[in-house]
Amino acid sequence: MARDTLNSSVTSIGVIMNGVTGRMGTNQHLLRSIMAIRQQGGLRVSATHTVMPDPILVGRNEAKLEALAHRAGVDRWTTSLAKALDDPFNTIYFDAQLTQLRSSAVLQAIEAGKHIYCEKPTGVNTAEAYELYTRAKARGVCQGVVQDKLFLPGLLKLKWLIDSGFFGRILSIRGEFGYWVFTGHDQISAQRPSWNYRKDDGGGIIVDMLCHWRYVLDNLFGSVRSVVCMGATHVPERVDENGTPYRCTADDSAYAIFQLDGGMVAQFNSSWTVRVRRDDLLTLQVDGTNGSAVAGLRDCVMQPYAATPRPVWNPDQDSPIDFAKNWMTVPTNQIFDNGFKTQWELFLQHISTGSPFPYDLREGAKGVQLAELGLQSWSERRWVDVPELER
C-alpha cells in the first residue's frame, strides 16, 4: 500500500555503504533495509517530513560493485572512499567491511563529519572499538551499531514478557545457539565461509557470538559483571570454498557462564558442532520466580507459576507429565518487520529528529570487550570481571 506523502516534504540522505558485497551486507542492509525503505516511499519521520536514503556503494572490486549496483538498481558506486566522503550530500557512513578494515575507514568518516552506523564487531580489540566511540562523541556525529538479535520477533516477545513483569524476579538464563555446520567433506557443501574457522583470519565462535550475547544480556536482563569461557575446536578439518581440506585453527564451540547484575546467572553454549534438539537455532530460556519462558527466533513459549508441574523422579514408569505440553505460545500480537530494516529506520529517525538510539559505538565496544575477556578467561582458565567502559 502506498504511503500518503501528500503533505510531506521529502529529504534525500546520501548513505555511503562500504563493504556490502558480502551476503549479509547485500541482503540485509542494502536490499532488505535501504532499498526496501526506498520502495516503501522513504521513512516518514514526522507528520510533515519524510527522509529518503540514497545509497552509494563503496568497495574495492569494481566489477563486483558494478554487478551489485546493477542488480540492486543503485546508480551510485565508487571504489574511492575518499571521494564518497568528500561529497557533502552523503551524510551517513555505513560500514560492513571485514573487521580488520573497519576502524580506519570509520575514523576517516568521523573526521569527515559523517554520522556513523556500522556492523559488529566494531573493532579487532576493545581499545580500537572504544576509540571509535570517543572520537565520534568528540566530533559530535550520531552513532549506531547493528544489534540485530534484539529485533528477532522471538526476543521482542520475550522482552514483552519481561516488561510486563511476567517473570517475577528473574533467576537465570540459558542460551543455546548453534547447529551442525557441514564440513564440506561430502556431497553437501560447506555452509559458512572458511575464514570463520581460521584464527588468523579473525574466525572463531567466541569472537563472533559473544558480541551478540553482550547486548542481548545487557539490554534484556542486566549488565554482565563477570565471565568464564572456554572454547574448543571440536572439528579439526573442514573443506574450503575451492574444495580443499584445511586445518581449523579457531574455536567452533564456546562454553560460557556470565554473572549479571542482581545475582542472575546466564549460561550460554554456542556451537557449530551440535545438532538441534530444541525449539530453534537460538533459544533463550529464562526462569523467574513467577514463571519461565523460552524464546526462539520468532516464537516464545511461557509457563507461569500456576502452570508449573510438580514432577516425581521415577525411572520405573513413563513420566505422567508431558514436559513439552505445559507451555503456551506467546501470541503474535503485532507484525514484525525485518529486524535490520527496523534498526535502520530507528537510526534514520534518530539523525533526523534526535529521537533516542541507545545502540551507540560504546555499546559496540562493550560487545568487543566481552569477546576479548572471554578469550582471556579461556587462556587464563579463570573467571574474569568486566570493567565498565566510561561513558
Residue 79 near residue 62, CB atoms below 8 Å: yes
The nearer residue to a second copy, 117 or 378, going by C-beta atoms, is 378
Strand (E) or helix (H) holding 349 = helix 339-353
Three cell numbers at 253? 564451540
Would you say 256 and 213 are in contact if contact means Cβ atoms under 8 Å apart?
Answer: yes
Q: Give the nearer residue to a second copy in terms of CB position, either 70 or 89.
A: 70
CA 81 to chain centre: 25
Residue among 223 and 303 whose Cβ is closer to a second copy: 303
Q: How far is the CB of 335 from a second copy (least distance, A)?
A: 11
Count of positions (residues) in the chain: 391
Query: What single-letter DSSP state applies at residue 196?
Result: G
For residue 224, give the nearest of 278, 175, 262, 281 by alpha carbon. 262
Q: Which of 91, 86, 66, 64 is nearest to 76 (CA)?
A: 66
Nearer of residues 80 and 187 to a second copy, judged by Cβ: 187
Residue among 145, 110, 109, 107 nearest 128 (CA): 107
Smaller CB distance to a second copy: residue 38 or 174?
174
CB of 276 vs a second copy, minimal distance in Å: 4
Shortest CA distance to 193 belongs to which of 147, 248, 255, 118? 248
Give min distance, CB of 300 to a second copy, in A. 9
Q: Give the residue with the Cβ less far from a second copy, 107 or 230.
A: 230
Cis peptide before 311 (omega within 30 of 0): no
Three-state DSSP at 174 gives strand
Closer residue to a second copy, CB minimum distance, 98 or 276: 276
Contacts of 293 (CB under 8 A, 6+ apart): 158, 161, 166, 167, 285, 286, 300, 301, 302, 303, 330
Rounded Cα gap, residues 193 and 199, in angstroms: 13
Q: CA dihedral in degrees (295, 155, 360, 127; nearest 10)?
A: 10
Residue 340 beta carbon to a second copy: minimum distance, rounded to whole angstroms: 10
Whole-number minimum distance, CB 291 to a second copy, in Å?
A: 8
CB of 79 to a second copy, least distance (A): 15
Give 80 or 314: the residue with its C-beta nearer to a second copy: 314
Least CB distance from residue 113 to a second copy, whole Å? 33
| Closest CB 351 distance from a second copy, rounded Å | 22
